[in-house]
Amino acid sequence: MAIYLSPSMLSIDFTKIGEQLAIIEQAGTPYIHLDVMDGVFVPNISFGIPVIKGIRKASNMIFDAHLMIVEPEKYVEEFRKAGADIINFHLEATQDPKKVIDLIHSTGAKAGITIKPNTPVEAVKPYLRDVEMVLVMTVEPGFGGQKFMENQVPKIHQLAMWKKEMNLEYDVQVDGGITQENVKLVLDAGANVIVAGSAVFGKENIAKACKDFFEIFKEYE
C-alpha cells in the first residue's frame, strides 16, 4: 500500500510560503493539504480561492483541498478552477452528499468525503463506491495544533475493512494532531494519507520532518 504525507498549510509560515512549499516539494512530498474554513461550519476563518490560485503557480504538488465550509456545492467549480486536484467536503455540511460528489467529478477533480469526530463512520458507507478518498478527523475541525483523539482510530480500521470487503480503492486520510510519535497508530489501522501540520511546518528543519515521516512509512509499504 502506498502511503503519502499531506502537510497542512494551516501551519505554514505565511511570510515564507513559497520557500516552505518548495522545501516540502523538494523533499519528495506529493501532497499539500489546504484547510479552507469559512467561520460558519467551523469557528475559524483560514484562506480561500485567491490564496490557492496564487500558490498553484508556485507548486506542482497535488492540491488536497479540505473544505470546512457550509454548502460546499456552491464553490466546487471555483476551487477546481483555482487548482484543487482533490476536493474533500464534510458530510455534515450538505443536504445531498451524492450531488456534491457528482459535481466534483464533473470538474475533473477527485472527490473526498470527511467526517467529524462525533459523526459515526457508518454515515459514509453509502458513498464509499463513489469517492476516491475518505477523511477521518482526529480533532475537532477548525483549529490547528490540537491533541490527537485516539478514540477515532476504530473508524480508520473500519474504513480499511470495508475497502477490502468491497474491493474498493479509496484512500483513507487522517487529519488532526498527527506526529511522528503517534502516526503508527493510524497506519496500523489502515490509513494511507497522513495530514500533518505542526509536525512538519512547526519543525526547525522542515525537510527532515518530512523525511522522518517517510522513514516510518517505509515500514508499511
Residues tagged active-site:
35, 175
Contacts of 41 (CB under 8 A, 6+ apart): 68, 69, 70, 90, 92, 93, 141
Amino acid at 73: E
User: CA torsion angle for 158, 200, 60, 103 (degrees, to 10)?
Assistant: 40
Q: Exposed, middle or buried: residue 204 (CB in 10 Å: 0-12, 13-18, 19+)?
A: exposed
> Residue 134 is inside which H or E element, if any?
strand 133-137
What's the CA gap between 60 and 62, in Å, rounded?
A: 7
